[in-house]
Chains A and B, each alone.
Chain A
Amino acid sequence: MINDTIITQSFLSFSLGGEIFAANVAKVKEILEVTKLTKVPKSPDYLKGVINLRGTVLPVIDTRVKFGFPETEDTVDTCIIVLTLVIDGDEVSVGALVDTVSEVFETNSEEILPPVSIGNKFRSDFIEGLIKLDDQFIMLLDVDKVFTDEELLVVKETGEETTI
């Protein structure tokens, strides 16, 4: 995505466990409030369950689990970001549970810093880049990768593998 030419891109920023992440709005379909969620048995932990999105069944990923944050109670600000992922060439809608959705912002591609793997607790291949906005680093997520990979975002020394 990072080209030599300066391209203005829009991102949706959201917070999760105190960290601020951002996703390319091109991947974001919409933002939902948390509704009643149906847990699906025999499914991975990070799959929180399914919800009814206007008559269709939308799987929801518990991003906290996926990112290796401790589980917390939902608040009024907890939202589901509906993302459009590409899995095996097919477009798939997936909901991602986040703490709060902050805003949509624009940034030039040149402002995007390359991810630093050293000292970062997150896997660098899931991070597209970093943006410094108002003294804060925002991690740009490669949503396709993050949410399709069964691996957790967080780097763990001896991570227990989640299996079906």
Chain B
Amino acid sequence: MKFTIKAKLILATIVQLSAALVVFYIGNNNAYQLNKKIDEIIKVNTQRINLSAKIAEDVQFITKREKDLILSKDREVLMDLVKQVDARTEDMENRYAELKDISDEKGVEILDNFQLRWSEYTSSFAKIKSLSMGVKNDSTEQLAYEISSTTARQKALEAVTIVSQIVRKNEKALEAANLETNALYESGERLMWIILGVSLLVATVLAFWIIITITSSIHKAMSAIKAVSEGDLTVNIESTNKDEIGDLLEYLKDMIVKLKEVITFVSTAADQIAAASEQMSSSSQQMSQGSTEQAASTEEVSSSMEEMVSNIQQNTENAQATEKIAIKASDDIREGSHSVNETVQSMKLIANKISIISEIARQTNLLALNAAVEAARAGEHGKGFAVVAAEVRKLAERSQVAATEINTLSSSSVETAVTSGRLLVEIVPNIQKTASLVQEIAAASIEQNSGASQVNSAIQQLNLVVQSNAATSEEMSASAEELANQASELREAIIFFNVGNNLGKKSRRKVKPRKKKPEVSEHMIAAKSKKSSGVVLDMDVDDDSDEEYEQF
């Protein structure tokens, strides 16, 4: 049976609680007895005293009114007085009844005695009353007064005395009660003190027992955890206790075993990672180098491509210019042919006009003849004119001849012009064909140009990709380095744990890849190494690695 700390603590608590309960019961009982006594005192005795006092008061009131009755002559006052007395009498009788109820036997005796006295007074009062109420005269008054001062006063005094007896009696009872309560209190106090002492003793014993058992177990666990915290996983934990602490140690033991296992695995993995990252770093360095070379050659290709494009462009432009020239030439020739046609037309027109001139010359000739006739008919007077007419006629003839010559000339010119026009017209289609061929060349060149541009842009894109590849591989190399670093750091961290085997040998190899860093990213690496240098203390600490570095 396992006696756990819990059980121990529950036990101790139960003991304490039961002691407290006993004390409470006793205290409470005493208090109850006291309360009962006090209630009695207050409810009965005090009431009796109170009522008695009131009855006494009533009696005095009534006697007083009795005197007023006698003195008063006014009927109404009388009546009022009577009423007052009657009402007071009633109240007094009620009180009397009440008092009789709460009175003990002795008290009732006294009360009966009082009753007796009171009734006597009452009869006296009645006499007085009737006297006062009847026809009042000095006699009556005298009589009444007599009665009142004799019998009535006596009886009243007696009644009051009896009542005071009651008060006295009850005051005595009160004093007895006080004594009784005092005794009660003293007995209760004694009992409670005893019980308190016993329970204190028990509690102390229990506490000592519990503290001793718990402390020893915790101590054992503490020492084991401390060893683990210091990295010593070799600590041996022996648990004897069957309480919770014992369990705890048991689990701790398990944990150390697991931890030992994990650390051994991590250590191996870190070694492996270090190796892999080393390898990766080297290959990515290689890749980066290749990428760089690739980028360079792409650049070269691109530039030569551009050169080609520009050449093609030049070609295109030349072709276009040629085409324009060809078209212009064709147009010019057409224009020329048109001009020749116009020339032909003009020449024809000239021929036409010349025929008009010829006609005019002919008509002039005729006119001159007419003039000559006219002149001849005028005889002597017309002589001069006849000469002129003859001259005109000659001129007309000459101009006709000239016109004919011009006509022949112009018709031959027309022929020439027509021929040249025809030739020109024949040239036009050839030139047009040339123009169209050149046009085709130009179109092809333009197409070529656009193709080359496309190729060029593709190469540019490739170049970009290559460059980004180079960068990526560099980054990768850096990452690999970083990874190796991390792995080594991991290893460093794991070394902290003592699992009791050769973890340290592997850790020395991991530093090697650092020397195979690619030149491209040297700065980066350097920067990184600088950064990390502050953190990884064992770089400087580890002498072996430094030596190896120098040997390279």
Contacts and interface: CB of A to CB of B under 8 A. Distances in A.
A12 B377 contact: no
A25 B373 contact: yes
Interface in B386-406: 386, 389-390, 393
Contacts of B362: 76-77
Given A104-B386, A104-B389, A31 B369 contact: yes
Question: Which 7 residue pairs of A and B lie closest in terms of their CB atoms, listed nearest first?
Answer: A10-B376, A104-B372, A25-B376, A28-B373, A25-B373, A30-B370, A104-B376
A104 B375 contact: yes
Interface in B167-214: none
Nearest to B394: A103
Nearest to B393: A103
Interface string B358-388: 0000110010011011111100000000100
B366 A104 contact: no
Contact of A103 (B363, B369, B374, B375): B369
Nearest to A11: B376
A33 B363 contact: yes
24 contacts: A10-B373, A10-B377, A11-B376, A12-B369, A12-B372, A12-B373, A25-B373, A25-B376, A26-B376, A28-B377, A30-B373, A30-B374, A31-B373, A33-B366, A76-B362, A79-B366, A101-B366, A103-B369, A103-B390, A104-B369, A104-B373, A104-B376, A104-B389, A106-B386
A134 B143 CA distance: 234
Given A12-B372, A31-B366, 11 more contacts: A10-B373, A10-B376, A10-B377, A26-B377, A28-B373, A29-B373, A30-B374, A76-B362, A101-B366, A104-B369, A104-B389
Nearest to A27: B377
Given A33-B363, A76-B362, A106 B369 contact: no
A101 B397 CA distance: 13
B451 to A, nearest CB: 77
Contacts of A103: 369, 372, 390, 393
Interface in B328-385: 362-363, 366, 369-370, 372-377
Contacts of A104: 369, 372-373, 375-376, 386, 389-390
Contacts of A12: 369, 372-373, 376
Nearest to B377: A25
Contacts of A30: 370, 373-374
Contacts, number: 47
A97 to B, nearest CB: 14
A31 B371 CA distance: 9
Contacts of A106: 376, 386
A27 to B, nearest CB: 9
A77 B363 CA distance: 10
Interface residues of A, number: 18
Interface in B251-273: none
Contacts of A33: 363, 366
Interface in A51-104: 76-77, 79, 101, 103-104
A69 B444 CA distance: 83
Interface residues of B, number: 15
Counting chain A CB atoms within 10 Å of each CB, which of B366, B373, B375, B386 scores highest? B373
Contacts of A25: 372-373, 376-377
A133 to B, nearest CB: 14
Given A33-B363, A76-B362, A101 B377 contact: no
Contacts of B374: 30
A29 B374 CA distance: 8
A12 B393 CA distance: 14
Contacts of A31: 366, 369-370, 373
Contacts of B363: 33
A102 to B, nearest CB: 8
Contacts of A79: 366
A106 B377 CA distance: 11
A104 B371 CA distance: 9
Nearest to B371: A104
A4 B536 CA distance: 169
Nearest to A104: B372
A164 B373 CA distance: 34
Contacts of B369: 12, 31, 101, 103-104
Interface in A93-122: 101, 103-104, 106
A104 B373 CA distance: 6
A119 to B, nearest CB: 31
B505 to A, nearest CB: 140
Contacts of A26: 376-377
Nearest to B375: A104
A96 to B, nearest CB: 13
B253 to A, nearest CB: 154
A84 to B, nearest CB: 10
Contacts of B377: 10, 25-26, 28
A35 to B, nearest CB: 13
Counting chain B CB atoms within 10 Å of each CB, which of A32, A77, A104 scores highest? A104
A79 B367 CA distance: 12
Interface string B508-533: 00000000000000000000000000
Interface in B197-253: none
A32 B363 CA distance: 9
A60 to B, nearest CB: 16
B551 to A, nearest CB: 132
A115 to B, nearest CB: 22
Contacts of A76: 362
Interface in A1-51: 10-12, 25-26, 28-33
Nearest to B382: A10
Contacts of A28: 373, 377
